[in-house]
């Protein structure tokens, strides 16, 4: 949590204990001051925390991300509400308005959740899956660009705008996949989809390499280690070398037990791998998927993905 609390404390927020890395924390309100903050890593959560603190505190703030841009939902929404959010020389600058006005908004479908259904459709033997009203913000659809390089047949249909956010229907079909290389500057736009892309890479011909994915070690679990460990447990050659993940695709039927450590994305990704015909992939805690995708096993079955264990 220090990545979030450090800029907020620099703005005048009171956070205790001051040196604690993890929750629980106690936060006390008070007057905030403006700030210019360079993020240690590209992170929509840290960026949004600073921007929203500036909005709530009525002070100007500027944030700068290293490397690739993280998702920009917060900036788009604030601009749609009339807030001045500008980019200047790599900095994102917010000037707070005197007040925000009430509004109604239909939140688009989450592309990170849709990715698992897309993955199941790509691994299927036949058919077509349509997922309606999915957010296709360019900062969130890096996984679609990587999947296209891998030979994935996924169409984006009927794109439209909802308060600054592009929305469309996704049409996914069975595909013959091939390995690819995912560069470091692509990672911020697909960090949450790497577990899903990893299991798809396990079914692709050739080698897939993900560069600079060390950020996966500080998610709900050490995702990087878990992805490699669990792929090996179902018969796939996979190795996490420093901040690099290397996966050798295979057409051997996946069979084995999956340790999730309660991580929803690990659970859902390997449930998708378990839809391969003949697979026997036993996920130790599929219920943890409910934190981001309630009723995921039933939805996966309804989408034609078999019965994950």
Q: Catalytic residue positions?
A: 192
- The residues pairing with 62 across neighbouring beta strands, listed in sequence order, are 36, 93
Give the separation between CA 190 and CA 216, rounded to whole angstroms.
11
Helix axes 223-233, 194-201, angle to 10 degrees: 20
The burial class, CB within 10 Å (0-12 / 13-18 / 19+), for 193 is buried
Give the separation between CA 128 and CA 114, rounded to whole angstroms.
14
Map residue 142 onto helix, strand or coil. Answer: helix
Strand order in the sheet with 153-162: 129-135, 165-173, 153-162
Rg over alpha carbons for the chain, rounded to the nearest Å, is 20
Map residue 197 onto helix, strand or coil. Answer: helix
The closest of 47, 153, 33, 146 to 90, measured between CA atoms, is: 47
Give the separation between CA 136 and CA 141, rounded to whole angstroms.
6
Give the separation between CA 199 and CA 223, rounded to whole angstroms.
13
| Tokens 């040196």 -> residue | 19
Beta-carbon-side half-sphere exposure of residue 105 (alpha carbons within 13 Å)? 17
Supply the DSSP symbol for 106: -
């Amino acid at each position: 949590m220090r990545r979030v609390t450090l800029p907020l404390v620099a703005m005048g927020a009171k956070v205790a204990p001051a040196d604690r890395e993890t929750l629980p924390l106690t936060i006390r309100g008070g007057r905030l001051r403006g700030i210019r903050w360079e993020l240690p890593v590209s992170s929509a959560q840290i960026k949004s925390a600073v921007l929203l603190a500036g909005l709530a505190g009525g002070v100007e703030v500027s944030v700068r991300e290293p490397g690739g841009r993280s998702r920009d939902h917060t900036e788009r929404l604030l601009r749609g509400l009339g807030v001045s959010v500008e980019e200047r020389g790599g900095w994102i600058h917010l000037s707070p308005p005197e007040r925000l006005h009430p509004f109604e908004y239909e939140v688009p479908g989450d592309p990170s959740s849709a990715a698992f259904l897309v993955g199941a459709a790509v691994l299927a033997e036949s058919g077509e899956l349509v997922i309606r009203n999915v957010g296709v913000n360019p900062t969130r659809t890096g996984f679609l660009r990587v999947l296209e390089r891998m030979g994935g047949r996924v169409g984006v249909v009927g794109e439209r705008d909802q308060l600054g956010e592009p929305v469309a229907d996704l049409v996914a079909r069975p595909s013959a996949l091939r390995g690819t290389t995912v560069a470091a500057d692509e990672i911020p736009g697909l960090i949450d989809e790497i577990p899903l892309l990893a299991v798809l890479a396990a079914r692709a011909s050739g080698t897939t390499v993900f560069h600079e994915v060390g950020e996966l070690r500080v998610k709900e679990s050490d995702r990087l280690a878990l992805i490699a460990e669990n792929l090996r447990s179902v018969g796939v050659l996979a190795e996490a070398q420093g901040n690099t993940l290397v996966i050798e695709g295979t057409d051997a039927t996946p069979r084995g037990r999956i340790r999730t450590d309660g991580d929803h994305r690990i659970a859902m990704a390997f449930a998708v791998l378990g839809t391969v015909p003949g697979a026997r992939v036993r996920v130790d805690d599929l219920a943890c998927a409910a934190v981001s995708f309630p009723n995921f096993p039933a939805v996966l079955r309804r989408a034609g993905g078999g019965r994950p264990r």
